[in-house]
Chain A
Amino acid sequence: MMGKKVEILDVDSKQIMDDIKKAASPPEEVEHWVTIYVMGKPYKVPAGLTIMKALEYAGYRYIRGAGCRAGFCGACATIFRRKGEYRFRTALACQTTVEDGMYLAQIPFVPANKAKYDLDKIEPGPTTLLEYYPEIARCVSCNTCTKACPQELDVMYYIQYGIRGDIKKVAELSFDCIQCGLCTLRCPAEIQHYHMAQLARRLYGKYYLPKSPWLKKRLKEIDSGMYEKAFENIKKLREENPEEFKSLYYKVLIEGREKESKRINDPLELMEGED
């Protein structure tokens, strides 16, 4: 059936692709400008760009200071002050819009020491985090780390929980940490927050979260070789009778979806996955 939901359009597909290309490239005309000061030097750049894109517009080509370009990797830590404002600010260059009169510099690297450990040999307890990162005890509760965090995490709190040895709390509160190092740069007590939090999360994941019961059974099955025969058969079917193989696929897909759907009580669980 055609034309019920989508009427036939007479279009020039190649032209459309060219139009998309044009639409996605930077506009020729710039209407609004701002001036930013990159390490003190003024540059006029289009308003509405991220700091990262603005620097590129101004002619910089990143080697350091750009990773994911999407707020996930922490490569683009930036410090800035606004004109006439006393407050020292922190940001991710890829996730922050330029403002007129911004004085900024990117921090290409944060020196911070990570403790070395063999996770298998640690017996986690209330003092484990302090053993590996004793400096957390020096926290003066100034909250500067929290103010510096571009992910808006409660950094000071997780440090406080760390001192108390509450591994679970540290793991949960620090989960969204992208390890940009801005907290660590700002801390007057010279704490290396994000490394401590990494240890806490791994301890929590390994020793506190219960292990999956099903996983072990599946591994035993696989090790026993019990799927080998089935794989041989399915390979043969695919080679010798591709049409039948395809219908098997559709059958399993459709029936499986039906069956699995019935197992669900929680409506949120009905969601599809992604990406």
Chain B
Amino acid sequence: MTLKLINGYPEYMRESIEMVEKTREQRIKEKAKEKELALTEEEREEVLSKFHPDYAPGGKRELKVGVNKGEIVPNEVADILEAWPALDPDEVDLNDIDYDVDILIIGGGGAGTVAALWANYEGIPAENILIATKLRHGDANSMMAQGGIQAADRPWDSPIIHYLDVLGGGHFANKHELVKALTTDAPKIIKWHEDLGVMYDKDEKGNFIERWGGGTSRKRLHSAKDYTGMEIMRVIRDEARNRDIPVLEFSPAVELITTEDGEIGGAILWNMETKEYYVVRAKATVLATGGWGRLHIRGFPTTNHYGATADGLVMAYRAGARLRDLESVQYHPTGAAYPEQIVGLLITEKVRTMGATPVNKYGERFVFPLEPRDVEAAMFIRECFGKGNCIQTPTGMRGVWLDSPMIEELQGEGAIKKNLDAMYRMYKRFGIDMTKDPILVFPTLHYQNGGVEINADAQVLKGDGSPYPRFFAGGEVEGGVHGKNRLMGNSLLDYNVFGRRAGISAAKVARNSSKPGKLTLKHVKLFTEEVKKINVPLSRRSPILLPDYRGKRVLARKIDLPILQ
């Protein structure tokens, strides 16, 4: 027996939907007045301090080990940084090298693929490059982006104006040289995509259709329907395949290898299917492992792909790299809260910008729909957990309504299918027609703002601020580009710009230097010494590679027999 659903919703939710329908007409009439709901600076603070997960106490702690000792990070991040290594260094024979390459790229998402292509353009033969990735090539956050990518290419826009927007968005905490690189390379990237055949939305003259992005002063968001990330990722992956760039799938890196002279000399990979390890020696190593959504910071659901477990942060930190801006976490206000099947998945901001208003259980407006992300998210949490004016789903999630049918009334029939095809399709799969019924939303964990600190050549920085000559990073794993808050459309750009720079820099090293010095895992042992001093439970090991969603009943009965292992 299952719960009886009427067009996707149980009866008790239908009662609330009726209230939403009753107020719809009035709300549409007063759409222009929604601005009056916008909060003052003081009110924002009141709401953020009490209802935003980044501000509410109990979510963060001081790091007790490593280069960033004393700095504050989310508990879930501290847990994996202050952990025992998953791999016992003594079990590995570093003299037996499985892959001896010019360039090792860790992570086969957007940044990794871009790095491989540019290293190849720079003359490094495909067979001297190796991409090692955790899932399949392209199973990555890069595949999931919907909205678009920023680039200042119109006459009344410029890289300087784009620069200002990025800094303001990042609360002025960003690194100058990185933002400069981001915004001046942006048009080059778009040109490169054009040449590769990415199908951006254009008018008949070839002008990009460019849209507003939250926090930008110009319209510079380039998109490909609401599948922008997928379109770019599948094109660059196709190009990597044309060029025969070797990819090892289901073989994540579990530890970096250092050298006697304090460099990075490759990595240990672990074949998740056969459980064997591989030693990779590389003249240059590129870290492109993406973000942290699957750590479920503060227990939040996430928009991220299955492999977003911050392994890159862990490995780089153990090797002595410096991290930055990790205390601020990006939550997206509108994750799906119902049905259970899609909890946490992204409901693009476009739903609100096209006119859908968030309303509570009684069909009442309670927030200006386009507050900055953190304020909007905090207001949703306030309505749900502070005031209780929310819908509770059969599985216990809470959420507020996003009144999507307003879009059809405001923009004309068919507007949803035309502009929000991926969204419409997702709800339809679960029996909900978002053109007729509102959808239930709650904030979701979205983006890692900070990460491994790099310079404009995409070189990773050590604790003392000097760069590793042979170690590079690009994409969501690195920090400094977006300061304390990333604006939409800038992370697809980030992985292209710094993936490219990492690839070019790595190619330079590969051309100009000999093999790295004697390989060692001494850094892992040294780090373990530090971990020993702070009382970490033995079961806490990292990198974690994948989240564990197995049912409690099964886990309670699970035993490992010392056979068939």
- Do A and B truly interact? yes
* Residue in chain A with minimal CB distance to B554: A59
Query: Which stretch in B379-387, B499-507, B512-520, B533-541 binds the other chain?
Result: B379-387
Query: Do A1 and B40 form a contact, CB below 8 Å, given A13-B51, A26-B395, A275-B147?
Result: yes
Whether A246 pairs with B172 at a CB distance below 8 angstroms is yes
The number of residue pairs between A and B whose CB atoms lie closer than 8 Å in the complex comes to 380
Question: How many Å lie between the Cα of A126 and that of B190 in the bound state?
Answer: 28
Q: Could you say which residues of chain A place their CB within 8 Å of the CB of B551?
A: 26, 56-59
Whether A32 pairs with B3 at a CB distance below 8 angstroms is yes
Query: Which stretch in A61-69, A82-90, A139-147, A183-191 binds the other chain?
Result: A61-69
Whether A215 pairs with B37 at a CB distance below 8 angstroms is no
Question: How many Å lie between the Cα of A267 and that of B272 in the bound state?
Answer: 51
A41 at the interface (CB under 8 A from B): no
B508 at the interface (CB under 8 A from A): no
Whether B202 pairs with A270 at a CB distance below 8 angstroms is no
Whether B394 pairs with A249 at a CB distance below 8 angstroms is no
Whether A249 pairs with B341 at a CB distance below 8 angstroms is no
Q: Could you say which residues of chain B place their CB within 8 Å of the CB of A68?
A: 139, 143-144, 305-306
Whether B217 pairs with A215 at a CB distance below 8 angstroms is no
Whether B2 pairs with A260 at a CB distance below 8 angstroms is no
Question: How many Å lie between the Cα of A219 and that of B151 in the bound state?
Answer: 12
Whether A58 pairs with B554 at a CB distance below 8 angstroms is yes
Question: How many Å lie between the Cα of A120 and that of B242 in the bound state?
Answer: 12
Question: How many Å lie between the Cα of A202 and that of B237 in the bound state?
Answer: 12
Q: Could you say which residues of chain A place their CB within 8 Å of the CB of B345?
A: 69-70
Q: Could you say which residues of chain A place their CB within 8 Å of the CB of B496?
A: none
Whether A218 pairs with B152 at a CB distance below 8 angstroms is yes
Task: Out of A202, A245, A275, name the residue touching B332 (CB < 8 Å).
Answer: A275
Q: Could you say which residues of chain A place their CB within 8 Å of the CB of B194?
A: 205-206, 211-212, 215
Query: Do A205 and B396 form a contact, CB below 8 Å, given A56-B549, A227-B160?
Result: no
Q: Could you say which residues of chain A place their CB within 8 Å of the CB of B300?
A: 20-21, 24
Give min CB distance, A213 to chain B, whole Å.
6
Query: Do A71 and B213 form a contact, CB below 8 Å, given A227-B158, A275-B346?
Result: no
Question: How many Å lie between the Cα of A268 and that of B421 in the bound state?
Answer: 16
Task: Out of B349, B396, B430, name the residue touching A274 (CB < 8 Å).
Answer: B349
B167 at the interface (CB under 8 A from A): yes
Q: Could you say which residues of chain A place their CB within 8 Å of the CB of B306?
A: 62, 66-69
* Residue in chain B with minimal CB distance to A114: B241
B155 at the interface (CB under 8 A from A): yes
Whether B346 pairs with A70 at a CB distance below 8 angstroms is yes
Whether A56 pairs with B385 at a CB distance below 8 angstroms is no
A6 at the interface (CB under 8 A from B): yes
Give min CB distance, A140 to chain B, whole Å.
28
Whether B43 pairs with A1 at a CB distance below 8 angstroms is yes
Task: Out of B144, B219, B272, name the residue touching A63 (CB < 8 Å).
Answer: B272
Question: How many Å lie between the Cα of A70 and that of B53 in the bound state?
Answer: 24
Q: Could you say which residues of chain B place their CB within 8 Å of the CB of A214?
A: 153-155, 207
Give min CB distance, B549 to chain A, whole Å.
4
Question: How many Å lie between the Cα of A119 and that of B50 in the bound state?
Answer: 55
A192 at the interface (CB under 8 A from B): no
B56 at the interface (CB under 8 A from A): yes
Q: Could you say which residues of chain A place their CB within 8 Å of the CB of B160?
A: 227, 230-231, 234
Whether A206 pairs with B195 at a CB distance below 8 angstroms is yes
Whether A53 pairs with B549 at a CB distance below 8 angstroms is yes
Number of A residues, CB within 8 Å of B? 115
Whether B546 pairs with A63 at a CB distance below 8 angstroms is yes
Whether A53 pairs with B395 at a CB distance below 8 angstroms is no
Whether B191 pairs with A272 at a CB distance below 8 angstroms is no
Whether B172 pairs with A242 at a CB distance below 8 angstroms is yes
Whether A5 pairs with B37 at a CB distance below 8 angstroms is yes
Whether B56 pairs with A17 at a CB distance below 8 angstroms is yes
Whether B350 pairs with A271 at a CB distance below 8 angstroms is yes
Name the residue in A214, A230, A250, A271 with the highest tally of chain B Cβ atoms < 10 Å from its Cβ: A271
Q: Could you say which residues of chain A place their CB within 8 Å of the CB of B156?
A: 259-260, 263
Task: Out of A20, A27, A256, name the residue touching B218 (CB < 8 Å).
Answer: A256
Query: Which stretch in B222-230, B280-288, B462-470, B472-480 binds the other chain?
Result: B222-230
A176 at the interface (CB under 8 A from B): yes
Give min CB distance, A144 to chain B, whole Å.
21
Q: Could you say which residues of chain A place their CB within 8 Å of the CB of B42?
A: 1-2
Q: Could you say which residues of chain B place their CB within 8 Å of the CB of A212?
A: 153, 190, 194, 202, 206-208
Interface readout for B171-207 with A: 1 if CB under 8 Å, 0 if not? 0100010001000100110110011111110101111
Question: How many Å lie between the Cα of A178 and that of B149 in the bound state?
Answer: 20
* Residue in chain B with minimal CB distance to A57: B551
Q: Could you say which residues of chain A place their CB within 8 Å of the CB of B555?
A: 59
Whether A209 pairs with B238 at a CB distance below 8 angstroms is no
A198 at the interface (CB under 8 A from B): yes
Task: Out of B139, B354, B394, B421, name the residue touching A271 (CB < 8 Å).
Answer: B354
Q: Could you say which residues of chain A place their CB within 8 Å of the CB of B197?
A: 119, 201-207
B164 at the interface (CB under 8 A from A): yes
Q: Could you say which residues of chain B place their CB within 8 Å of the CB of A204?
A: 197, 199
Question: How many Å lie between the Cα of A213 and that of B49 in the bound state?
Answer: 47
Interface readout for B380-405 with A: 1 if CB under 8 Å, 0 if not? 01100111000000111110000000
Whether A273 pairs with B211 at a CB distance below 8 angstroms is yes
Whether B550 pairs with A273 at a CB distance below 8 angstroms is no
Q: Could you say which residues of chain B place their CB within 8 Å of the CB of A21?
A: 298-300
Give min CB distance, B62 to chain A, whole Å.
17
* Residue in chain B with minimal CB distance to A8: B46
A127 at the interface (CB under 8 A from B): no
Task: Out of B140, B272, B370, name the residue touching A272 (CB < 8 Å).
Answer: B370
Q: Could you say which residues of chain A place their CB within 8 Å of the CB of B58?
A: 14, 17-18
A35 at the interface (CB under 8 A from B): no
Question: How many Å lie between the Cα of A32 and that of B5 in the bound state?
Answer: 13
Whether A217 pairs with B155 at a CB distance below 8 angstroms is yes
Question: How many Å lie between the Cα of A219 and that of B189 in the bound state?
Answer: 10
B19 at the interface (CB under 8 A from A): no
Q: Could you say which residues of chain B place their CB within 8 Å of the CB of A257?
A: 217
Q: B308-357: which residues lie under 8 A (CB-CB) from chain A?
A: 332, 339-346, 348-350, 352-354
- 6 A-B pairs whose Cβ atoms sit less than 8 Å apart in the complex: A9-B387, A16-B51, A18-B58, A95-B426, A206-B197, A218-B152
A-B contacts besides A17-B299, A20-B299, A275-B146, 7 pairs, CB < 8 Å: A31-B3, A67-B305, A68-B139, A69-B305, A176-B422, A209-B200, A222-B159
Ranked nearest first, the 6 interchain pairs of A and B with the lowest CB-CB distance are A21-B299, A274-B349, A210-B206, A256-B217, A67-B139, A202-B197
